[in-house]
Amino acid sequence: MSKVGLIIAREYSSRVKKKSFILMTILGPILMVGFIFGALYLGQQDEEKIKILVHDDTFAITQFINYEKENPNQLTVYDTSGKKNYDDAILDFKKSENYDLLVYLPENIIKTKNSTGIIQYKKPPTAKSLTYITNVINKAIEKSTLQFYNIPKEDYDKLKSNVQFRTIDIKTAEENNNMAKSAIGLLFGVIIYLFIFMYGVQVMKAVIEEKSNRIIEVLVSAVKPFELMMGKIIGIMLVGLTQFTIWVALCSLSITILSVVAFPDMMEAANQAEMMQSNIGNEVTMDNEFADIVFRQINWPLMIGLFLFYFVGGYLLYGSLMAAIGSAVDSETDTQQFMIPLSAPLAFAYIIAINIIGNPHGSTAFWCSEIPFTSPVVMLVRVAIGGEGMVWQVLLSMFLLIITFITTTWIASKIYRVGILMYGKKASYKELLKWIRFKD
Amino acid sequence: MENPLIFEAKEIVKNYSNHVALNKVSIRIPKNSIFGLLGPNGAGKTSLIRIINQITAPDSGELLLDGEKLSRKHIKDIGYLPEERGLYKKMKVGEQSLYLAQLKGMNKKEANSKLRSWFEKFEIEGWWNNTIEDLSKGMAQKIQFITTVVHEPKLLILDEPFSGFDPINTNLVKNEILNLKKKGTTIILSTHNMNSVEEICDNIALIDKSNKILEGSVNKIKEEYSEKIWEITYKGNAVSFANSIWGGWELLKQEQGINNTIKTKIKLSPKLNLNDFIKGIIDNVEIIELNKVNPTMNDIFIKAVNKSNELEPKLDE
């Protein structure tokens, strides 16, 4: 094995054997998938059963409420209309454990549009159940109003308009859903940001370790500083790629298993989404949209491929500079002044990535996805959202990234070869510039 | 000179941005010898060692190893134990010894068997699966020594090899160094420990303020620096001893010895030789013991450095 190969192998195997790596690699995707599905699951479970006591002064609405309930178990209605006056109903509500809410429908509620009913509670209702009750009652009021004015339901339905728009890409004939796509893009953005930063810092720490435990002098008597630095950077990069690969594998596996076992509906939704392609007239519900995006609209191989490229590129850019920082200091506590100019653009890229979602093809989005210090994070979000003329932009940004990481690696190696043998001297930026110009 | 040269540095110059580290330094190291590289702190020893190890390159000058121009392929022929040393704290002893040996160009199988036999020799086979963290400083030093010599280099550079060892282990390492020499290795020993220089070095070079100020075999240098100083123990009257000979000598020290003897240290002037001195005193006192006092390397070191410091202002004038 070549010497660089030996160094790569050591850096790689000493890291993947660590308990923390194994734990993160296995727990990471489980936590991520568990979190997403947990949220979905809890969302489904949220159909609480509500018992309401209705005091209906119009005597006309309550009878329709029961017809309008979508799910009969969810809502139980107790009607006090005609039996008691409102004050007695209030007393009943206060005394009894049977009711969750007291709904008061005043007499003028049918004749006056936009009048206000009153819901009294002991425990505040959730927004979801309040929306549900309001819907049901509004529909009941609608029905009783039709009856009051003696308007046939069919006539009313003819009058009523309920138009919604779907936006469809004329070339691909696919529905566009920027928000959901950007959410996926942002997820990639977050992961690439974390990966570049995490593994970049690992390079820095590894360099500081070798310098501070003084093994460095023995090492550079056997290999060139450049070989040592590259071996370290590549070894740690392979650790990152390993982790990502396992994450992708575990995520797809657990999504598949969970979809089949715990969420058969969702798979159906995916199939429906497929059918929908040829049958545009069907109504699409919220759940279907999510499944549609996850299973159809995101080009996973492309996203994963780009992730790998931009991770490698961004990591080499930042990792090489962090290696240079590690070589210039004696201990981790001295890294502060050099770390800020490196962590700032990365954090900035992340903020930009969130902000361009509204305008993914504006000039901010364009430039930040081309400038190599921000492009790995920003470009992933833009590609996930998709759009016209992205191909040349992606290629250009890749090209710029490659040029830049070659340059930073070259600069870093110049600083590194001097820095690793300098002790007890606090390096300034001026000093680093001087090191770059040193001859061997 | 006695043996052919294993290493030669010719007129090595190394400048750093604000100072000269080495000013036309030349050294010649004969094969199969132990070469002491001496000098005060900051004299330029480490710079020279780093150049020999090809960690840095000289600005000018020539380096030859075994007659060939020094290049990367000679890395496997050189072993280096730096003064500031360390190992990976969390890596297992065996694993990192193998790693370092492979970096020096050994293949894994060969490195493994050689390391095992060294571990046996130092009676530390049980440490193979420990991490350095688990070991004491002295234990770690042993591992470090082994990793330096395991690839059987032609030229071994040891920078303060005895620091951190207790007397027992110092002796163990010293014997190992002599063993290696017996097997044909040439050793550069950079140290402040002048006793060990006297004990084991064949040749030395003394570097001070970027310049080589002294080079040669230990015996020759000692001769050069030797003065006519003798230790004489006698029985008899101190006054008659002092009055035996007038002039030409100096009493450096006088003290009461055991059994009514008197111990003295005298320095003879160039004009007076020992025979004439003895003739003078022999009738007055009974000589019990007579010893030549040779200069220690420590004396020579201090003298040479002081001399070069005295020369310096004169050069400025």
Pick the range with the lowest mean pLDDT from A41-50, A107-116, A419-428.
Answer: A41-50
Q: What is the token pair recorded at A395?
A: 């290629």
The answer to whether residue A249 neighbours chain B at the CB level (below 8 Å) is no
Burial class (CB in 10 A: 0-12, 13-18, 19+), A74: middle
Q: What is the pLDDT of residue A278?
A: 43
Averaged over A71-83, what is the pLDDT?
74
CB-count burial class (<10 Å; 0-12, 13-18, 19+) for A420: buried
* A168 DSSP assignment: B
**What whole-number distance in Å separates Cα of residue A49 and Cα of residue A67?**
17
Query: Which whole number is the average pLDDT over B294-316?
Result: 76
The lowest-confidence range among A146-155, A293-302, B135-144 is: A293-302
Residue A421 touches partner B, C-beta closer than 8 Å:
yes
pLDDT of B160 above 90: no
pLDDT the model gives residue A264: 62
Q: Indicate yes or no: CB of B87 within 8 angstroms of CB of A440.
A: no
User: DSSP states of A70-118 as a string?
Assistant: SSTTTEEEEE-TTTS-HHHHHHHHHH-SS-SEEEEE-GGGTTSTT---E
User: For chain A, which residues make up each domain, given as ranges?
Assistant: 3-35+178-437, 49-159
Contact B86 A14 (CB under 8 A): no
**pLDDT tens readout for residues A299-345:** 888 889 999 999 999 999 999 999 999 999 988 888 888 889 888 99
The closest CB to that of A221, out of B17, B55, B90, belongs to B55
Residue B246, H or E segment: none
Domain with CATH 3.30.70.60 in chain B: 227-292
Q: What is the predicted pLDDT for the residue at A370?
A: 94
Q: Residue B258: its pLDDT value, please?
A: 84
- Phi/psi of residue B289, each to 5°? -150, 145
Starting at the edge strand found earlier in the chain, the sheet holding B186-190 runs B78-81, B155-159, B186-190, B34-38, B203-208, B211-217
Residue from A217, A226, A428, A432 whose CB has the most chain B CBs within 10 Å, to mutate: A217
Q: Which residues of A247-277 are buried (b: 16+ CB within 10 A; e: fewer)?
A: beebbeebbeebbeeebeebeebbebbeebe
What average pLDDT is seen over chain B?
A: 88
- Give how far Cα A174 sits from Cα of A152, A170, A293, A386, Å: 39, 8, 10, 12
Check if A73 contacts B (Cβ < 8 Å): no
pLDDT score recorded for residue A284: 41
Count helices and strands in chain A by DSSP H and E runs: 17, 4
pLDDT score for A354: 87
**Interchain pair B87, A213: CB under 8 A:** yes
Write the DSSP assignment of A360-382 as a string of letters.
TTSHHHHHHHHSTTTHHHHHHHH
Q: Using CB atoms within 10 Å of the CB of residue B293, give its burial: 0 to 12 exposed, 13 to 18 middle, 19+ buried.
A: middle
Does residue A351 have a pLDDT over 60? yes
Please report residues of A whose CB lies closer than 8 A to that of B89.
213
- Residue A263 is predicted with a pLDDT of 61
User: Residues, chain B, total?
Assistant: 317
Enumerate the β-bridge partners of residue A168: A175
A218 and chain B in contact, CB less than 8 A = yes
Q: How wide is the angle at C-alpha A329 spanned by C-alphas A324 and A334, nearest 5°?
A: 120
A50's enclosing H/E stretch is strand A50-56
User: By percentage, how much of chain A surpasses pLDDT 90?
Assistant: 31
Backbone dihedral region of A382: left (phi > 0), alpha (psi from -120 to 50 degrees) or beta?
Answer: alpha
Token duo for residue A303: 């996203």
Chain B residues in contact with chain A using a Cβ-Cβ cutoff of 8 Å: 17, 50, 53-57, 72, 75, 78, 80-82, 84-91, 99-100, 102-105, 147-148
DSSP code at position B217: E
Chain B: closest CA distance from residue A293 (Å): 46
CATH architecture assignment, domain A49-159:
3-Layer(aba) Sandwich (3.40)
Cβ–Cβ under 8 Å, residues A60 and A281: no
pLDDT at A15 over 50: yes
Distance from CA of A223 to the nearest CA of B (A): 7
Which span out of A266-270, A371-375, B236-240 was modeled with the highest average pLDDT? A371-375
pLDDT range class, residue A281, cuts 50, 70, 90: very low
**Weakest mean pLDDT among A18-27, A276-285, B52-61:** A276-285
Q: How far is A28 from chain B (nearest CA, A)?
A: 25
**How far apart are alpha carbons A332 and A334 in whole angstroms?**
5
Terminal alpha carbon distance of chain B: 37
pLDDT score for A292: 60
| Inter-helix orientation angle A225-261/A178-212, to 10° | 140
Residue A221 and residue B85: Cβ atoms within 8 Å? no
Alpha helices, H only, B150-193: 167-182
Rounded mean pLDDT, A358-376: 90
**How do the residues of chain A divide into helix, strand and coil, expressed in percent and rounded to 5?**
70, 5, 25
pLDDT of A158 over the 50 cut: yes
Q: State which residue of chain A sits closest to B92, comparing Cα positions.
A: A14
Q: Which sign does the torsion angle of CA A60, A64, A69, A74 carry?
A: positive
Q: In what order do the strands lie in the sheet with A75-79?
A: A75-79, A50-56, A101-105, A118-121
Residue corresponding to tokens 């194994």: A22
Angstrom distances, CA of residue A159 to CA of A35, A150, A155: 45, 15, 7
Give me the pLDDT at residue A71, please.
66
Q: Cβ contacts of residue B94 below 8 Å, gap of 6+?
A: B115, B127, B128, B129
CATH number for the domain whose boundaries are B227-292 = 3.30.70.60
Mean pLDDT confidence for B14-20:
84
ipTM of the complex: 0.82
- Average model confidence (pLDDT) across chain A: 82
A281 or A125, higher pLDDT:
A125
Q: Which whole number is the average pLDDT over A196-218?
A: 92
CATH class belonging to B5-223: alpha beta
Q: If you search the block for the tokens 């530390």, which residue do you land on? A: B124
Q: What is the pLDDT of residues B92-119, one digit of tens each?
A: 999 999 999 999 999 999 999 999 999 9
Q: What is the mean pLDDT of residues A12-38?
A: 86
| Interchain pair A221, B87: CB under 8 A | no
Q: Which of B222, B164, B218, B174 is nearest to B196 (CA)?
A: B174
